[in-house]
Structure 1
Amino acid sequence: MNELQAILEGFESSQTSGEITFLATVVKTQGSTYRRPGAKMLITNTGRMIGTISAGCLENDVFEHTQQRMSEGEPIVITYDNAASEDIFWGFGLGCNGIVQILLERLERETMPNAIAFTQECLNKKHLGIIATVFAFEGAVNVKLGSRLLLYPNGKIITDIKDPTLIPSLIADSQAAFTNQKSSVNNYQLPLGSVEVFIEVIQPPTRLVIFGAGYDAVPVAQFAQALGWQVTVVDCRANQATKERFPRSCDLILSRREVVDKQVFIDDYTVAVVMTHNYLDDLEILKMLLPSPARYIGVLGPKLRTERLLEDLRLQGIVYNTEQLKRLHGPVGIDIGADTPEGIAIAIIAEIQAVLTNSSANFLRNRHQPIHQSDESNLNLLLTT
């Protein structure tokens, strides 16, 4: 289960038990910080905390803020300046020279627009969603702290933001975030003031389909589930004993290669790893995967074997274009010197994560820009200097 889903389930259980709940969200950071905007923590009046907003340095202090605001419904923004001398004075000693701003708000089921219900819908229905949240403003602007705009995939908008000078720009930026799938912090200079908004992209869980049910596929499934991914294992040998090998939370499909394309659903949020150890199975699976919308296709085995698979498909009259082949990774995984099932699984999961986040997978010590600055930002910096 991923952190966001755990928070949503924690909120549901808190409503059943009658607990008062608060949500702490990192909305803006500057400099070096452990978590980035979008990190969340659910806090109850009984002391339960689900999720993290730091490396464990800020959580208890944020909890104390909730204790002081039990009877109040208005959100607040808490700023931690980890570079300031007061950090040492107050005993946080965070060690990261950055600034973290956290929006703390009391959760109510009837709140509109309801970001919790919207997020749950995005995960359940497996679609993107955009939540734009006001966390700072100055001047005579018609917004409140914690005001929101929700953007659905069909263009539907729900908002309690009233300022007519802000809405058009906010809608445009939210639509842009939907297209590029990147969260951002935006500052809007308006005729009567300014507003800062955190535009957050809610992503459905990554869906990993593992073709092959050997013992080497088990750690791949386990590591993927640790990241909150939804895992489906396809066993083309239709072996009932496979069910005992994998975690119960994995979906298991017992199939044959001739009909696997009719039993497995592949969409834009699917990544796939082919590790059947059977050449003919791999051939049929690749025939299905390459024209599919899968974001990543990994093939276990030497490079020459993958090239032979593609050549055999070509001899069958099946030719794939450059864009389709870009998603193909064979051999699968990044080079970390892995030679055990667990090590290979780490290499596979790390490569998929790098592809999903458009990262280079290089050593961080060799990086000249901040860790969380995107490669695209680095390129733009180089082009403009």
Structure 2
Amino acid sequence: MKELGDIVQAYEKSLQLGLKMALATVVSVDGSSYRRPGARMLVTEDGHFTGAISGGCLEGDALRKAALAINQGKKKLVVYDTTDEDDAKLGVQLGCNGIVRILFEPIDTNNSSVINHFKKMNASREPSILVTGYHQDQGSHWGTMLREAIQEKYHADLVPVFETVLKSKKSEHLVIETDKGNQVLFVEYINPAISLIIVGAGNDIMPLENMARLIGWSTTVVDGRPTHANTLRFGQANKIVVGKPAEVMQQLLFDDRTAIVLMTHNYNYDFAMLSELANTHVPYIGLLGPAAKRERLFNDLADIGIHFTDLQLKNIYGPTGLDLGAETSSEIALSVCSEIMAVIEGKQPQHLRLKTTPIHASI
């Protein structure tokens, strides 16, 4: 989602400058590649680009192909065969050992429906489906659109397919027949960004808030002290909430991609906040501090009749973070973000070298 947000920002800036643009999208990969289907890059007519479609090996040639799409005003599918060991034939340094198909779409700045799709997805906390249609034999390409648009304009009978993708949370390709030949549809499942709520506004949480934003997460800073939780200290946070736990809870939204970490260094505030969270279902609740603090919190809550269900207890991580040997606040931020991402994405942290299967599932 961060890449889409960056592309939207770059588009708005380029639009003000009066620059023509094209969107490059990786629509399919056979074999290995640095980027997967769904990777995107916005290219302006002056040669600047935002996003990435490879580890840097394809961008040079992609800039030329994007310029061609802009000048001709036509969508263009380009196939890069990186299985050829003679990289010089393509004029780029490849070595990924895969076949990468990239669709280049000139953007109509008078009717930038593609960018509007990205804006809608960035503003939503709901999973989205983005469909990119292309013709493998250089025929007419539908391009990128939201599922609602393709259902209305082309095939309403695709609804069951989209519902299956939403339910499985897995992108897929399918081929449909049209009066102009077969169209390949890359049906892309896109999750909303992780929402991180940090309870606490001390200096030690600044690296965590910064790192979360760098990854592309939405950040909310909560504290009872207006002297600490303010725009001077956290000017780039998406939201700042000041007040007592019962008050701030009314201003917070929780979904299945929300994580909250209690880092106030104030036992009473953490206690009150955790008692409020007993009435919610949050997939990740992190507690800063030793296991002894966690047990004290649970015991004190039990004394006043507040108990967590077994499912809620599984979602409470105290101490928060992975055991990476972290000492400094920046290292702790890395540890916490790593654990949150693993939990939200349903992954068991391990060394990638231990995997006996591909890093990413095929699409």
TM normalised by structure 2 equals 0.89
In structure 1, the residue matched to 2:99 is: 99
Which amino acid letter does the alignment assign opposite residue 299 of structure 1?
A: L
Given that 1:148 and 1:161 are in contact with CA atoms closer than 8 Å, whether structure 2 keeps it comes out as no
Q: 1:159 aligned to 2:128?
A: no
Question: Equivalents in 2 of 1:111, 1:28: separation in Å?
Answer: 26
- 2:222 counterpart SS class: strand
Q: What residue is the counterpart of 2:189 in the other structure?
A: 201
Give 2:127's aligned residue: 128
Aligned to 1:270: 258
User: Does the residue aligned with 2:312 lie in a helix, a strand or coil?
Assistant: helix
State the alpha-carbon separation in 1 of the partners of residues 45 and 137 from structure 2: 32
Deviation string, structure 1 residues 128-156 (Cα, Å, up to 9, x no partner):
321112123579xxx941355523xxxxx
Counterpart CA distance in 2 for 1:46 and 1:135 is 26
TM-score by length of 1: 0.84
CA distance in structure 2 between the partners assigned to 1:23 and 1:210 by the alignment: 35
Deviations 1:344-371 (A, max 9, x none): 1100011111122222221011111111
Identify if the C-alpha distance between structure 1 residues 241 and 145 changes in structure 2 by more than 3 Å, giving closer, same or farther: same
1:285 counterpart = 2:273:
yes
**Distance in 2 between residues matched to 1:323 and 1:109, nearest whole Å:** 49
Query: 1:3 Cα deviation (Å)?
Result: 2.3
Q: 1:298 to 1:39 in 2, by over 3 A?
A: same
Deviations 1:189-243 (A, max 9, x none): 659975421112333332211011222211111110111222111123x141454
Change in Cα spacing, 1:53 to 1:146, as seen in structure 2 (3 Å) is: same
- 8 Å contact 1:302–1:331 — kept in the other structure? yes
**1:173 corresponds to which of 138, 157, 161:** 161
- 1:328 equivalenced with 2:327 (yes/no): no
For the residue of structure 1 that corresponds to 2:187, the secondary structure is strand
- List gaps (5 residues or longer) in structure 2: none
Task: Give the SS at the match of 2:108.
Answer: coil
Change (3 A) 1:160 1:125: closer
Residue 105 of structure 1 deviates from its aligned partner by: 0.5
| Matches for 1:1-385 after TM superposition, within 5 Å | 2-111=2-111, 114-137=113-136, 144-147=140-143, 150-151=146-147, 157-159=148-150, 167-168=156-157, 170-182=158-170, 184-188=171-175, 194-236=182-224, 238-243=225-230, 246-250=233-237, 251-373=239-361
In structure 1, distance between residues paired with 2:144 and 2:52:
23
User: Is the Cα contact below 8 Å between 1:21 and 1:42 reproduced in 2?
Assistant: yes
Distance 1:245 1:325 in 2: 36
Does the residue aligned with 2:57 lie in a helix, a strand or coil? Answer: coil
1:163-192 residue CA offsets vs partner (Å, 9 max, x unmatched): 65xx52x3222122223433x232336599
Aligned-residue CA RMSD (Å): 2.8
Secondary structure of the equivalent of 1:159? Answer: helix
Distance between the aligned counterparts of 1:344 and 1:304, measured in 2?
19
Question: Contact 2:141 / 2:183 at 8 angstroms: preserved in 1?
Answer: no
Quote the offset at 1:160 in angstroms.
7.3
1:267 and 1:292 in contact (8 A); partners too: no
Check 1:145–1:189 CA distance in 2 against 1; reply closer, same or farther (3 A cut).
Answer: closer
Distance 1:69 1:115, change over 3 A: closer
User: Is the 1:148–1:160 Cα contact (8 Å) retained in structure 2?
Assistant: no
Q: One-letter code of the match for 2:70? A: M
**2:135, 2:128 → 1: CA distance?**
22
The one-letter code of the counterpart of 2:126 is H
Shift of 1:46: 1.0
**Offset of residue 272 of structure 1:** 0.8
SS of equivalent to 2:282: coil
